[in-house]
């Protein structure tokens, strides 16, 4: 019978390394989204269903354009962190690396597309 300490039992199971950074990133983006999403809903809802020319004129104003761009950017960074956690917890083997790379590329591409779309309307 082996008498193992908690430290010996945990040895070889990996370490958190970036767990604190990931936790704080998720907390900060959550708080940012807590303020950004209602602002986005109110600014976007005000122009929903309007003709294209009115939408372009509306998003040429700085506040709606900044709120929309920040919501896209922060939202997809938060998405990346959450899906990364899911993939790390539930996907194993080589599929894990493939899924992580695909998810990171997808999230940053979607964030860039959203920000560029808003920038195209605003400029």
In a domain, 9, yes or no: no
- What pTM was estimated for this model as a whole? 0.79
| 3-class secondary-structure state, position 5 | coil
Structural domains counted in the chain: 1
| Residue 60 pLDDT greater than 60, yes or no | yes
Q: Report the mean per-residue pLDDT for the chain.
A: 89
Mean of pLDDT values over 72-88: 93
24-34 average pLDDT score: 94
**Distance from C-alpha of 72 to C-alpha of 121, rounded to nearest angstrom:** 14
Instruction: With H, G, I as helix, E, B as strand and everything else as coil, classify residue 2.
Output: coil
pLDDT band at 12 (very low <50, low <70, confident <90, very high): low
In a domain, 15, yes or no: no
Q: Tell me, yes or no, whether 26 lies in a domain.
A: yes
Query: What is d(CA 111, CA 70) in angstroms, rounded to the nearest whole number?
Result: 10
* Distance (Å, whole) CA 66 – CA 115: 9
Q: Whole domain around residue 28: which residue ranges?
A: 22-122
Across the range 106-111, mean pLDDT stands at 95
């Amino acid at each position: 019978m082996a008498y193992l300490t908690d430290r010996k039992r945990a040895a070889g199971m990996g370490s958190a390394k970036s767990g604190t950074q990931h936790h704080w990133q998720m907390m900060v983006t959550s708080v940012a989204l807590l303020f950004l999403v209602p602002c986005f809903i109110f600014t976007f809802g005000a122009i929903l269903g309007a003709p294209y020319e009115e939408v372009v004129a509306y998003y040429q104003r700085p506040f709606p354009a900044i709120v929309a761009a920040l919501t896209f950017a922060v939202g997809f960074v938060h998405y990346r962190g959450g899906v990364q956690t899911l993939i790390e917890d539930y996907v194993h083997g080589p599929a894990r690396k493939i899924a992580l790379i695909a998810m990171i590329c997808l999230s940053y591409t979607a964030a860039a597309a959203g920000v560029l779309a808003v920038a195209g309307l605003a400029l």
